[in-house]
Structure 1
Amino acid sequence: MAGIHFTEAAQTYLAELLSKQDTTGVGIRVFITQPGTPYAETCIAYCKPGEEKAEDLLISLAAFPVWVDAVSEPFLEDAVVDYATDRMGGQLTIKAPNAKVPMVNEDSPLNDRINYLLQTEINPSLASHGGEIKLIDVVEGGIAVLQFGGGCQGCGMADVTLKEGVEKTLVARIPEITGVRDVTDHSVTENAYY
């Protein structure tokens, strides 16, 4: 179960906010954007019945349900949601000390380590062009088979990005990888950045 704690003050404050919603049974959903990276942001949002995802973890508090995003859950270990009052009113705070901590190490499965590197280092730099890279598989000889998407697909610079950026990074950081191969059809150019 999620290692996230809601103080009494936070529960009281959130229950009051939720009671003002025009739909009954509204809970909250907790998730982290870009978990395990320096850019991680912990978020709380209203969650109307049916808006939760099938893989979400449910925490049933006395006054309302809390849905925790499954991908974010390991990063919410030791997280505390609190409500502190001061002269100006009050503020809901979320302290999630593990939100930015990577959940992979040298012993993690190869695909997890590659995906972590893609999500935290490679894709953020491609995002400015609307692009992303996904791992398809690792084949014999330590070749990572990748697929370009978004603005990378059809981009005339994709092969340069692949060899100069992605391959060098993966080979340098993950010893089992000897090279990369692109399975993307770059003849489709309607969203290309270049």
Structure 2
Amino acid sequence: MTPSDIRITAEPIDNGRCKFLVSEPVHAGGVRRFASRDEAQGSPLAEAIFAIPGADVAEIIVSGNLVTVVKQSAAPWPVVGKAVGQAIRSTLAGDRPAVAAKPAPAAGSPTADDALYERVADLFDQQVNPMVARHGGRVELIDVQDAVVMVRMAGGCQGCGMADVTLRQGIEAMLHQHVPEVRGVVDITDHTAGSNPYFAAAKK
């Protein structure tokens, strides 16, 4: 595989967040979240994205063929996105895995994230999914890492123009009320693949 074989589409959420949908698998080992350069060590893709000049990248989430980048700079996504695209292509075409496997916790020692996962899953079953089901949607709890909840939307929520409003004003607000230890929520959905996508994907 050469870099030119890899196709990437960008889905800006706002000036601080953008999803990049890649034609090739980026990481098949579940969800990986990187919140610093130190955490990115050993994962060439995360290292390269954190190193983009002027982007001030704060967070990277990788799942399957989706890469979500959170930045703090005012640089526009058309500029930063080109550098992200180059990082994705070069690392996927390299000899090393673009993203290292998530370190396994010590056997028999449940983590704080494990306990949070159970509480969040219970809230999703009892309140979140009954709420979105009224509009034909469903929200899947994917993982909890460093108290950040990863979700994937489906049904009427996937590709819906109000998906981000549902996430921020509905799901995130509900989590902060009932599970205040949660630090944030990340949507790893490919909204361009929904039945009525609100985003016209742009190639990078």
* Structure-1-length-normalised TM-score: 0.41
Higher helix share: 2
Please give the TM-score of this superposition, normalised by the length of structure 2: 0.39
Greater RCO (Cα-Cα under 8 Å, separation 6 or more): 2
Which one has a bigger Cα radius of gyration?
A: 1
